[in-house]
Structure 1
Amino acid sequence: MNELTRTTITSMEVAEWCGKRHTDLLRDIRKYVQQLGESKIAFTDFFKESTYVTDQNKTLPCFLVTKKGCEFIAHKMTGHKGVEFTARYINRFHEMEELPQRLLTDHPGEVAKLIQALASRMDKQGSVPYKSVEMAKLVCEQYGIQLPADFVKAPDYEQLSLFGNTN
């Protein structure tokens, strides 16, 4: 599964980029899967069935979409939306390919324990809380766990000091 998360994007992300409702994209992908199966072409090279959990704790279907799957979908699109989707998926897969090959862990609980131990030590040493968050993000990235770019935010007073004194 770790390899899949490094080489695929979710159908929710694809739907957003395509400007489609996720349910409509799922319908389209299921149709592609059926047609590929009828042609005896392995659909798993393009799409992998999966699920996700909503904020309401519901498990819903989705697909993990490979680079080939994105190319497949892009070839079905035309006009501005097609151009925009193609650019987004190309950029996204290039970003994933350019990331250094990092060890992905099958034991996220161990990573969490490591982060907890390091945060505790930093707290005892008087580190400011956002520095612990920066450390946690670095540890996660070393184990191939990607966090949002805005996961770490320095407090406003720290950001102001970056610009130096204007006296």
Structure 2
Amino acid sequence: MNEIMKSTITSMEVAEMVDKKHCDLLKDIRRYMKQLGEGKIPSSDFFTESTYISEQNKTVPCYLVTKKGCEFIAHKLTGQKGTEFTARYINRFHEMEEGIGIISAEKIPVGEVAKLANVMDRIAVRQNLSPHRIAANFKAICEQFGIRLTDDFVKAPEYEQLQLIIK
């Protein structure tokens, strides 16, 4: 799954890039997938079904869109919108391919990381997860979005480090 995340962008990010409501883009992608299926072309080369947790703590559908999927969407757009989207997705994938660890905040889906972290925190607290485990989960999520945190962001308490050594 982590490899898929590294080679895709979310449909939320695509919707933002093309200035379209996410729900409308989902309808388009579903139509494209149906048409690809009828032509016996694997839609997984372009789109992968996924979900995310909304602010209301609901599981909401989305898609992971590959570079091919972005090219597919770009070919459906015309004029200025098509040109701008093509430039944006090309730049975005080049950044991922070059391994740029830190990306500007404007390229992260607006508020998505914060929403996810908030939901994660509530769940972790309800499950009595220790603070350093919550921090480790948060760090893992940030890295999936290309946000680098310092190596010492997660610090296990000394008593747990001793237990790890004993085992």
Task: Give yes or no for TM over 0.5.
Answer: yes
2:165 corresponds in structure 1 to none
Q: Secondary structure at the match of 1:13?
A: helix
Shift of 1:63: 0.5
1:56 corresponds in structure 2 to 56
Cα distance in 2 for partners of 1:90, 1:100 equals: 14
Cα distance in 1 for partners of 2:63, 2:10 equals: 6
Cα distance in 2 for partners of 1:13, 1:41 equals: 25
1:74 corresponds in structure 2 to 74
* Number of residue pairs the alignment of both structures matches: 120
Q: Secondary structure at the match of 2:50?
A: strand
Per chain length, whose mean CA-contact separation is higher, i.e. which structure has more relative contact order (CA < 8 Å, sep 6+)? 2
2:46 corresponds in structure 1 to 46
Amino acid in the other structure paired with 1:64: L
1:21 corresponds in structure 2 to 21
Shift of 1:56: 1.2
After superposition, the C-alpha distances for 1:66-115 in whole angstroms (9 at most, x for unaligned) are 000000000000111111100110000000000079xxxxxxx9xx55x6
1:104 corresponds in structure 2 to none
Shift of 1:10: 0.4
1:84 corresponds in structure 2 to 84
Does the C-alpha gap of structure 1 residues 100 and 92 become closer, same or farther in structure 2, counting only changes over 3 Å? closer
Alignment of 1:9-158 (within 5 A): 9-99=9-99, 113=133, 144-146=143-145, 148=147
Q: Which has the larger radius of gyration?
A: 1
Cα distance in 2 for partners of 1:144, 1:63 equals: 19
Structure 2: state its 5+ residue gaps. Answer: 102-128, 151-167
Cα distance in 2 for partners of 1:94, 1:76 equals: 21
Cα distance in 2 for partners of 1:63, 1:35 equals: 16
Amino acid in the other structure paired with 1:33: M
Taking every aligned residue pair, what percent have the same amino acid on both sides?
A: 61
Normalized against structure 1, the TM-score is what?
0.63
Report the RMSD for the aligned CA atoms in angstroms: 3.0
Normalized against structure 2, the TM-score is what?
0.63
Cα distance in 2 for partners of 1:87, 1:62 equals: 22
Contact 2:36–2:43 (CA under 8 A) maintained in structure 1:
yes
Does the C-alpha gap of structure 1 residues 144 and 87 become closer, same or farther in structure 2, counting only changes over 3 Å? same
Cα distance in 2 for partners of 1:12, 1:146 equals: 13
Contact 2:70–2:89 (CA under 8 A) maintained in structure 1:
yes
Shift of 1:145: 3.8
Amino acid in the other structure paired with 2:40: K
Shift of 1:146: 3.7
